[in-house]
Copies of this chain bind each other. A is one copy, B any other.
Amino acid sequence: MTNLPLRHSAEVAAAKAAGRPIVALESTIITHGMPYPQNLEVARQVEDDLRAAGVTPATIAVMDGTLHIGLEAHQLEALAQAKGVAKLSRADIAACMATGGTGATTVSATMIAAHLAGISVFATGGIGGVHRGAESSFDVSADLLELAQTPVTVVAAGAKAILDVAKTLEVLETQGVPVITVGQDSFPAFWSAESVFKSPLRMDDPVGIAAAHQMRVDLGLPGGQLVANPIPHTDEIPATELAPIIATAQADAEKHGIKGKAVTPYLLQRIYELTQGRSLTANIALVRNNARLAGAIAQALIANARIAGK
């Protein structure tokens, strides 16, 4: 692995050397989630939130064939303005790197990169899941299988409510992925704090979540954990308000014949319009909220290891 084109930012390299807590961050939210310059502002905000809490951010991306674990300020700025950047998952990260390409990492590829770099905790907005209609399309996100095989704890506000959440929870159970909700009994619904689905597990304390992560490692289980962190109630769009909006967006998608990979971006744009931009405000709030919790888990992992004398 000596030839692997992987580079740490100065900040991440220093944190690793000193044994300080690090949280990985994905980059598709930067390249595909918001327009410039808002994407850059939010990315910087999330990184600064972590730094303020004593945690080092490691934003992950492939640039010109190199896998970056943490981006320098100018790299973050360049990525935020880049056009036509690929979205990388387990299936295509190696080909992108081998051909010297540039790509933003989804949950799947960010987990792979974090694990390679020895980073155990990763904050994102929401994970991919089982798409509505998957019983006939077989469209299931690679994120779910990544959680089953890569030992990274992923903090997310659930899965986007435009997915089939019931089936997403079933696949996670089949794949043996711990789904741990924080602070409530129901699995959160991204823009809304609550859903009608009971969470398989509930743990309200970052120290316990860190202990469960370490126990999986000690048991030799290869996969990670999904920590479902509900959006704060002050920032949410309540599910009762959002449900008819999602239904409208889906009816519009059908009416306009939107199909396949075009559906998700279309729905997100329609929901943005129909909520007068509140969906984006909520999204930013939940990402910051997830980074905060991820930072606390990363700190607890180190504290727990110190207590255990490791």
Taken residue by residue from 195 to 210, chain A's Cβ proximity to chain B (1 for < 8 Å, 0 otherwise) reads as 0000011010000100
The contact of A176 among B3, B134, B146, B220, by CB within 8 Å, is B146
Please provide the chain A residues from 138 to 172 with a CB less than 8 Å away from any CB of chain B in the complex.
Answer: 138-142, 144-146, 166-167, 170-172
Q: Of the 9-residue stretches A20-28, A44-52, A84-92, A182-190, which lies at the interface with chain B? A: A84-92
The contact of A94 among B137, B139, B215, by CB within 8 Å, is B215
User: What is the copy number of this chain in the assembly?
Assistant: 3
Contact B308 A215 (CB under 8 A): no
Contact A200 B91 (CB under 8 A): yes
Please provide the chain A residues from 211 to 270 with a CB less than 8 Å away from any CB of chain B in the complex.
Answer: 211-212, 214-216, 218-221
Contact B95 A180 (CB under 8 A): yes
Q: Which residue of B lies closest to A167 (CB)?
A: B138
Number of A residues, CB within 8 Å of B: 57
Q: Which residue of B lies closest to A99 (CB)?
A: B208
Question: Separation in Å of the A153 CB from the closest CB of chain B?
Answer: 11
Q: Is A293 an interface residue (CB 8 A)?
A: no
Q: Is A78 an interface residue (CB 8 A)?
A: no
Q: Is A123 an interface residue (CB 8 A)?
A: no
Q: Contacts A177-B91, A201-B92, A208-B99 known; A171 to B138 CB distance under 8 Å?
A: yes
Residues of A within 8 A of B (CB): 1, 3-4, 89-95, 97-99, 108, 112, 116, 130, 134-142, 144-146, 166-167, 170-180, 200-201, 203, 208, 211-212, 214-216, 218-221, 308, 310
